[in-house]
A and B are shown apart, each in its own frame.
Chain A
C-alpha cells in the first residue's frame, strides 16, 4: 500500500448498489486512499469497459451483479493479456470457504465477506502487488 500511495492511484469500484460503492470507497479512504481517483460502475460489463479505457491500480468488485457478475469479470480480466495484471479484490455476501477458494483460484488477490471493514480491506490491500513487482 505504501508504494501505491507514491503513484497516481486509480481504483475501480464495481457494485450494482450505490450504497455498497459508497461504503467501499469510504473504507478505502479511511485506510489511506483519500487522494485516489475513484471510478464507480454498476456491473461487470461497465467495469470491463472502464479497465480497458484507462489503466486501474486495482479493482474492487462485488460478486453478485446483473449482466456480468464479479466472477466472470475476474475471469475476463485474467484472460485478456492487455489487462491481466490488474489486481482484483472481490467482495461477496456468498463468501463461504468453498466460494472464496474458487475465486482465489481464478486469480482474485483477496476475497472479502460482507460487511467489509477498513481493517479487512487494509489487509487485502497489503496483498496487492507493488508497482515494481512483475505481473502475476
Chain B
C-alpha cells in the first residue's frame, strides 16, 4: 500500500513533538531532506533511493565542490544527491550480483522534501557519517530478495 508521505509527516508531527517537549524539553520540526532514486531495470526490477538530511548534504557538497556551504542552490544539491546515489547503486549492485551478470540502472529521479511514494516492500538502511544519519532505501521485492541472498560478492 502506498501512502502520502508529506501528509503523514505532518499528521504525526504534533504527537511526536509533544512527547519530546514534555519528556525532554526539545522542540521538533519537520525534517528537510534531499533524495535521489535510481531505477534498477535489469536483470531485476526495483529502485534504490538515497536520502540525505539537508544539513549533512550541504556539508558533503562543500567538500565535494570545495566551496562554502552557502553556495549551493536546490538544483545543485539534488544533482549531488543523484550522483552519490548513482555511484552507490552501481557499487551495491556489483556487490550483490555475480561478476558475469550485467545490470542496468536508469536515469536518477531527484527531489527535496518528502520521499516519493514507495511500495510496501521497502527496506530502509540507516548509516551515519560525522555522526549524522542518512538512509539508503531498497524498494521492490526482487531487489530486496537479492540483497537478502548470500552471493559471492556480499558474503560477510
Which stretch, A11-19, A53-61, A80-88, A119-127, touches the partner chain B?
A: A11-19
- Given A17-B82, A19-B64, A114-B90, are A64 and B76 also a contact pair (CB < 8 Å)? no
Q: Is B102 an interface residue (CB 8 A)?
A: yes
Q: Is B86 an interface residue (CB 8 A)?
A: yes
Q: Which of A19, A64, A65, A98 contacts B79 (CB 8 A)?
A: A19
Which stretch, A29-37, A44-52, A89-97, A128-136, touches the partner chain B?
A: A89-97
B82: A residues at CB distance < 8 A: 17
Complex Cα spacing A114 to B91, Å: 8
Query: How many A residues touch B, CB cutoff 8 Å?
Result: 22
- Given A23-B64, A65-B107, A98-B100, are A93 and B87 also a contact pair (CB < 8 Å)? yes
- Given A17-B83, A19-B65, A19-B79, are A93 and B101 also a contact pair (CB < 8 Å)? no
Complex Cα spacing A71 to B100, Å: 19
Task: For residue A59, give the distance in angstroms from its CB to the closest CB of chain B.
Answer: 19
Are the C-beta atoms of B100 and A92 separated by less than 8 Å?
Answer: no
Task: For residue A14, give the distance in angstroms from its CB to the closest CB of chain B.
Answer: 14
B64: A residues at CB distance < 8 A: 19, 23
Q: Is B128 an interface residue (CB 8 A)?
A: no
Secondary structure at the B interface, as helix, strand, loop or mixed, is helix
- Given A18-B79, A22-B65, are A93 and B100 also a contact pair (CB < 8 Å)? no
Complex Cα spacing A96 to B83, Å: 18
Bitwise, B27-53 to A at CB < 8 A (1) or not (0) is 000000000000000000000000000
Complex Cα spacing A102 to B104, Å: 13
A107: B residues at CB distance < 8 A: none
B102: A residues at CB distance < 8 A: 94, 96, 98-99, 102
Q: Is B93 an interface residue (CB 8 A)?
A: yes
Q: Is A20 an interface residue (CB 8 A)?
A: yes
Q: Which of A16, A65, A94 contacts B103 (CB 8 A)?
A: A94
Are the C-beta atoms of A19 and B94 separated by less than 8 Å?
Answer: no
Q: Is B117 an interface residue (CB 8 A)?
A: no
Task: For residue B47, give the distance in angstroms from its CB to the closest CB of chain A.
Answer: 14
Complex Cα spacing A99 to B82, Å: 21
Are the C-beta atoms of A96 and B97 separated by less than 8 Å?
Answer: yes
Q: Which of B83, B100, B104 contacts A19 (CB 8 A)?
A: B83
Are the C-beta atoms of A94 and B101 separated by less than 8 Å?
Answer: no
By a beta-carbon cutoff of 8 Å, the part of chain A in contact with chain B is 16-20, 22-23, 64-66, 92-99, 102, 113-115
By a beta-carbon cutoff of 8 Å, the part of chain B in contact with chain A is 64-65, 76, 79-80, 82-83, 86-87, 89-91, 93-94, 97, 99-107
